[in-house]
């Protein structure tokens, strides 16, 4: 599965109906505890979620749990390939939000 997300200003674009997998990689114990895309709860598996891109702007929410940590949010593109979406160090965010525009 090739990478689907393309950065565009403050949001990400992706083809409508593409399947996108996002995962959390942390140096410490931070985990993904919930995901929501377009008001649909997503199943968390192996510290990641997968969703199908809907038309127009939609909100992806990721709820994390853990202490201050160094964390990366990555698109899992398959075949060991990833794309950096967001990262932080020594912060304890509880919910991260990303606008995904289906085109």
Q: Quick check: pTM over 0.75?
A: yes
pLDDT tens digits, 51-69: 999 999 999 999 999 999 9
Give domain limits for the chain. Answer: 6-102
Rounded Cα–Cα distance for residues 15 and 4 (Å): 7
Predicted confidence (pLDDT) per residue in 80-100, tens digit: 999 999 999 998 878 999 999
4-41 confidence digits (pLDDT tens): 999 999 999 999 999 999 999 999 999 999 999 999 99
Residue 1 pLDDT > 70, yes or no?
no
- Inter-residue contact 99 to 54 (CB < 8 Å): no
Residue 77: is it exposed, middle or buried by C-beta count within 10 angstroms (0-12/13-18/19+)? middle
């Amino acid at each position: 599965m090739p990478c689907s997300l393309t950065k565009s200003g403050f949001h990400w674009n992706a083809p409508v109906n593409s399947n996108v997998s996002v995962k959390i990689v942390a140096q410490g114990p931070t985990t993904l505890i919930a995901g929501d895309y377009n008001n649909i709860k997503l199943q968390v598996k192996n510290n990641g979620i997968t969703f199908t891109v809907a038309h127009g702007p939609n909100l992806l929410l990721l709820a994390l749990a853990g202490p201050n940590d160094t964390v990366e949010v990555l698109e899992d593109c398959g075949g060991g390939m990833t794309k950096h979406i967001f990262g932080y160090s020594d912060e304890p965010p509880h919910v991260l939000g990303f606008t995904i525009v289906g085109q």
